Amino acid sequence: MTTNIHIIRRRRLARLAGSTPATNQSAAPSPNESGSSNTSQPGTSSSSAATGAQQQAESMSTEEMPSSQKTDNDSEPDKTQVSTMDVDSGIETMEVDEPEIQTKDASRQRDMNLNSELTDEHLLNAICRILQISVCRCNPDGVPMPDVEDLFRANQGSEDFRESINFTLVEALTLCSASDANPFESARVKSRKSSSPSKYAASPISMEAEQRSFPYKKYQPDQCQETRMINYILDCYEQVNVEERMAPKRSSSPPLSTLLTEARSQCVTHASLVLQGTFTRCRSPARPSFLLPYLISQNLPRGFLQELVFITNKDNDAFSVIFTPILQGLVQAIRGLSFDTEDYRLLLATLSELCDIKVTNTRPVCNLIVAQSNWLPDPLSPAHGMELEKLSFLGPFFALSVFAEDNVKVVEKFFSNPQMTPDNARMINQSLQRAMECARGEQFKILHTLLVNGDTREIALNFVYAAIDRNAKRSQLQVDERLVAGEGFMLNLLSVLQQLSVKIKVDKVDPLYPYHPSGRLNLKDDSRLKYSSQEVTEWLEKLKTSNFKWQEPKFPTECFFLTAHCHHLSVLPISRKYQRRLRAIRDLQHMIEEIQNAEPQWKDHPSAQRNKALLKRWKSQVKRLQKGKLCADAGLLDEWLLRRCLEFYGMFSQLIIRILTPSDGLKLPLPTEIPPVFAALPEWYLEDIAEFLLFVIQYMPPVLNDQYVSDLISLIVIIVCSSNYISNPYLVAKMVEVMFVVNPAVQPNTRHLCDMILDHALVADHLVPALMKFYTDIETTGASSEFYDKFSIRYHISIIFKTISGQQFVKFVNMLMNDTTFLLDESMDTLKSIRELQDLMENTTEWNRLSKEQQTSKQKQLLQEQRQCRSYLTLATETVDMFHYLTQEIVKPFLKLELADRLAAMLNFNLQQLCGPKCNNLKVRNPEKYGWEPKRLLNQLTDLYLHLDCDEFAQAIANDERSYRKELFDDAVARMQKACIKTTHEIELFRSLQSKVDKLVVEKQRSELDYGDIPDEYKDPLMDTVMHDPVLLPTSGNIMDRPVIMRHLLNSQTDPFNRQPLTVEDLVPADDLKKKIDAWIKEKQSG
């Protein structure tokens, strides 16, 4: 046999060296190989390549592909693709060169052939059909190949087809390389017309048409030798599948199964040789692979790619030569793509399919990916995050984005008109969100296969850590977006991590991992929930010296915390940017409206050109911002994405609750000793949860109808009821704000969430006292804006109190009085200022005396006063409402000695503002514009008098020497009667209270006259009045009247004389002095 092979080879070489027309021309160089001017001589280069290829193919095809790699070839055939004859008709079906036989009695032949044995002629026919050749009068439609005829005759009767198929493929590929066109194309067409009614591809992902199509225009097959050879090999491989479909039973057992398996293996082996440049010359590694267009267009026959990986992966160099150009070609192809076309789908699916190919216990393509030089390149500039997105291997695959800042293609295609209708915008958003979800599914498959593959798990995890670490600046309020990855990349990475985390059991997560000595999370510069940085260091050092046994970091734990950090760098910064954009749009629209309304005043002014330029620029900015907002609507207000975020934060809440209550379940109050594991956690772990909920409540409330909300509510209630566990009061305030915004009065769509909070097991006994304590604690926060912040925070608490009830205490009431006093004072002052400015503008004589600059200044002042008045009145109305609500049911706290006098003085002063001689100064034009309702305020203030009507409160009113006058109450009665805001009975009660107060005033004046000169030691040093309950201040040694110092301590826990810390418990009764004072008063009264 060996002698015959050498004879045949010599004949072929001699013919190639001669002038045979079929092979006379030199092998044309590939049009893509423009760098070379050499042409190969058929008698030398081609023949030597063919000989070497035959030897290499023989060596590469010695290994059998395991049964596990035979993809679907032995499965039940698709009945829609088989011949109209019976699927077991066997050889008759395959013998397409004798069509006249098929017209005879089919039934009789089928029965006969079912029991017949396969002959050498049948096997030769099968080989000829597969390889599209004509040998020994078999398959006349094939290409004649006399050179191999002797070899086939020599191998007759042998079941070893390797030599025959190998030699034939080398001959065929040599012929393809030496021809300008594919010499087998006509044979392929004839064969398909005569033999196979089935469609082109056996695989659902392969092309069904006879002609391969390549829809991805950027990657079309090159018109070159290699393409012709690859087309031929793929046709042969597909014909093997056709043979199996035509005779599924016979092809599943030897000798036909052996032949088909060998043919399939030889096709793949020779394809690998073509891709390595064995038959031609090596292609530059920087150029895309010849196979890439077939992969992207999914034109490879079923099983071909898997077998190519299986056969070549044993030789690392060959595997890299074949698949590196494919992988790098995919990277180049997807770079710059967006959701304006669907090209990205094919590229992601191709990489996903490659990664998923498994050989025994490893995934060779995954191993090759992480070995690429651009897998995770070192940073070259300060733009670490942007470089990772643009230059790393996976970066372009994860960079697909709908955000305008990442890629303008989506804007240009879908949102060129920013004024589109809401329905159109919603339809486009839904379409884009479905596309993103599809892409993220493929991205998940890619990263998941890299992580489940043992050889690449750690390297893939390093990539995720690098993506988080290099984009750490994204969490900053002000960030240079040129230095970090884009919004699309971060949200895609987040979505993949969410899918990886969804099956993690929280009780398997190690809460100590953020502090693990070998942990890779960077928490160095983060503020902690309770500990200072020094305390964190000391605690970790203590663990180290105590030989604490750390758990070995497991993948679920690392993945869980990576996902938390990715939320911090993706959805939270993007949501903040979204809100900033909305504010910018509103501000610009307001400025445009103002300047347009004022056009009659400036159109003839020298500033007209400048104003027109401003208008043009502002309108352009609004248009650009609106386009960006529409893109962000699609990218951020994505229900699938936000639900996954909510689900993860629910799981994260479970982890924090487990840290706080490790064995007792949900139980308050928490232990006095704060767990170090909790105290050392980064502050943003909780802040992100609150910010996310606030965003979703405002922009996507339907997402909150989810099972994971209950864990979030439990965490919020625990934190609000345990504010001592948190150093930063603004963090607790954010949790309070969440409870505020779910109130139906604020957000009607969250009533169910509000009900869940109110019905929570911990709320009834713990929430109200905790809120009252926080109401007082927020008086001092340490921030420069604390004075103004406290009003907003207390406003939130007051709204919550309207929904819940509970015990009150003195400090809370005191702070409420302070707020009411300040807000009403500021409201009255701004109303007076507005009245003065309105009067000035209506007085045309005085107004025209002012210069243009003065008029502009006054107009701006009026706008400022109006904004402040509206804000102050909103808050003031709420605090008065709170007083009204509380005093209806609870009176005692308001009658405490330290409160009653101050409360009475506050009510008297504000009643004087409303009913006194200067009340006309509060009349403004369009009072409803500011929320100014003087009748309602008068009604509520007088209600407070009636709610608190008793002897103690009457005495407190009488003690107010600054504002109380009999005439004041008379004026108030007259105004109530005129406005009909009180019933006759209520007015009589008010008059009765007035009578009691008048009597007490007279008695007070008489008693004060009787005292005469008061000894200094009996007088309170601050109020200069007689002390009735003197107490010693141990920090300074001074003595004060108890009610006076108690009022001071309600506002400041310090000694008024030296500012040293002082509490009520520190006060020491001065009993001896009290006895002296009591005796002196008794003596004065009797005298």
- Helix H segments across 784-851? 786-801, 810-842, 844-849
What does the pLDDT read at residue 442?
Answer: 96
Give just the sign of the alpha carbon dihedral 503, 508, 512, 516.
negative
Task: Pick the more confident residue, 884 or 139.
Answer: 884
Residue 706 has pLDDT above 90, yes or no: no
What does the pLDDT read at residue 104?
Answer: 40
In the numeric block, the tokens 């077991």 are attached to 88
Task: Pick the more confident residue, 52 or 628.
Answer: 628
With cut-offs at 50, 70 and 90, classify the pLDDT of residue 194. very low
Task: Pick the more confident residue, 310 or 103.
Answer: 310
What does the pLDDT read at residue 53?
Answer: 53
The 8 Å CB, 24+ separation contacts for 378-385 are 379/470, 382/483, 383/482, 383/483, 383/484, 384/470, 384/471, 384/483, 384/484, 385/467, 385/470, 385/471, 385/473, 385/474, 385/483, 385/484, 385/485
Q: What are phi and psi of 461, to 5 degrees?
A: -65, -35
Average pLDDT of span 500-514 = 94
Write the single-letter amino acid at 70.
K
Of 157-166, 241-250, 357-366, 752-761, give the lowest mean pLDDT range: 157-166
Of 641-645, 707-711, 878-882, where does the model show the most confidence? 641-645
Cα 944 to Cα 885, 905, 919, 940, 995, distances in angstroms: 10, 13, 20, 6, 17
What does the pLDDT read at residue 35?
Answer: 39
Average pLDDT of span 849-860 = 88
CA 1050 to centroid of chain Cα atoms:
45
What does the pLDDT read at residue 25?
Answer: 37
Q: What are phi and psi of 1068, to 5 degrees?
A: -115, 120
Residue 957 has pLDDT above 80, yes or no: yes
Q: For 887-905, b where at least 16 C-beta lie within 10 A, e where not — what string?
A: beeeeebbbbbbbbbbbbb
Of 662-676, 797-811, 948-962, give the lowest mean pLDDT range: 797-811
Residue 159 has pLDDT above 60, yes or no: no
Average pLDDT of span 695-714 = 90
What does the pLDDT read at residue 98?
Answer: 42
What does the pLDDT read at residue 55?
Answer: 54
Residue 274 has pLDDT above 80, yes or no: yes
Q: What is the DSSP letter of 240?
A: H
Average pLDDT of span 301-314 = 91
- Give Dmax over CA atoms of the chain in angstroms: 151
What does the pLDDT read at residue 917?
Answer: 72
Dist. CA 953–CA 959, nearest whole Å: 10
What does the pLDDT read at residue 186?
Answer: 61
What does the pLDDT read at residue 204?
Answer: 39
pTM of the model: 0.73
What does the pLDDT read at residue 56?
Answer: 57
Residue 16 has pLDDT above 70, yes or no: no
What does the pLDDT read at residue 54?
Answer: 54
Domains of the chain: 2-12+46-74+84-99+116-282 (no CATH), 810-1011 (no CATH), 1016-1086 (3.30.40.10)
| DSSP result, 259-279 | HHHHHHHHHHHHHHHHHTTSS
Residue 982 near residue 942 (C-beta atoms within 8 A): yes
List, for residues 324-354, the tens digit of each pLDDT value. Answer: 999 999 999 999 899 988 889 999 999 999 9
What does the pLDDT read at residue 15?
Answer: 45
Residue 822 has pLDDT above 80, yes or no: yes
With cut-offs at 50, 70 and 90, classify the pLDDT of residue 158. low
What does the pLDDT read at residue 290?
Answer: 87
What does the pLDDT read at residue 59?
Answer: 55
Q: What are phi and psi of 848, to 5 degrees?
A: -70, -20
With cut-offs at 50, 70 and 90, classify the pLDDT of residue 78. very low
Q: For 1006-1034, b where at least 16 C-beta lie within 10 A, e where not — what string?
A: eeeeeeeebeeebbbeeeeebbebbbbbe
The two structure tokens encoding residue 545: 């010296």
Residue 514 has pLDDT above 90, yes or no: yes
Of 68-82, 384-398, 1055-1069, where does the model show the most confidence? 384-398
Give the residue from 885, 898, 899, 1028 showing the smallest Cα distance to 943. Answer: 885
What does the pLDDT read at residue 696?
Answer: 96
In the numeric block, the tokens 């019905």 are attached to 759
Dist. CA 633–CA 341, nearest whole Å: 19
The two structure tokens encoding residue 277: 């440049």
With cut-offs at 50, 70 and 90, classify the pLDDT of residue 463. very high
Of 684-693, 715-724, 851-860, give the lowest mean pLDDT range: 851-860
What does the pLDDT read at residue 86?
Answer: 37
Average pLDDT, the chain: 82
List, for residues 902-925, the tens digit of each pLDDT value. Answer: 889 889 988 888 887 767 778 888
What does the pLDDT read at residue 87?
Answer: 32
Residue 83 has pLDDT above 60, yes or no: no
What does the pLDDT read at residue 653?
Answer: 96
Q: What's the first-to-final CA gap in the chain, in angstroms? A: 148
List, for residues 754-797, the tens digit of each pLDDT value. Answer: 888 888 888 877 888 788 788 878 877 777 777 778 888 988 98
Q: What value does the CA radius of gyration of the chain take, rounded to a whole number of Å?
A: 44
Share of the chain above pLDDT 70, in %: 82
Residue 528 has pLDDT above 50, yes or no: yes
What does the pLDDT read at residue 893?
Answer: 74
With cut-offs at 50, 70 and 90, classify the pLDDT of residue 155. low
The two structure tokens encoding residue 715: 């965490």
Q: How many helices (H) and strands (E) does the chain have?
A: 45, 5
What does the pLDDT read at residue 714?
Answer: 94
With cut-offs at 50, 70 and 90, classify the pLDDT of residue 52. low
What does the pLDDT read at residue 130?
Answer: 82
Of 172-181, 223-232, 325-334, give the lowest mean pLDDT range: 172-181
Q: Helix-strand-coil percent breakdown of the chain, rounded to 5?
A: 65, 0, 35
What does the pLDDT read at residue 149?
Answer: 67
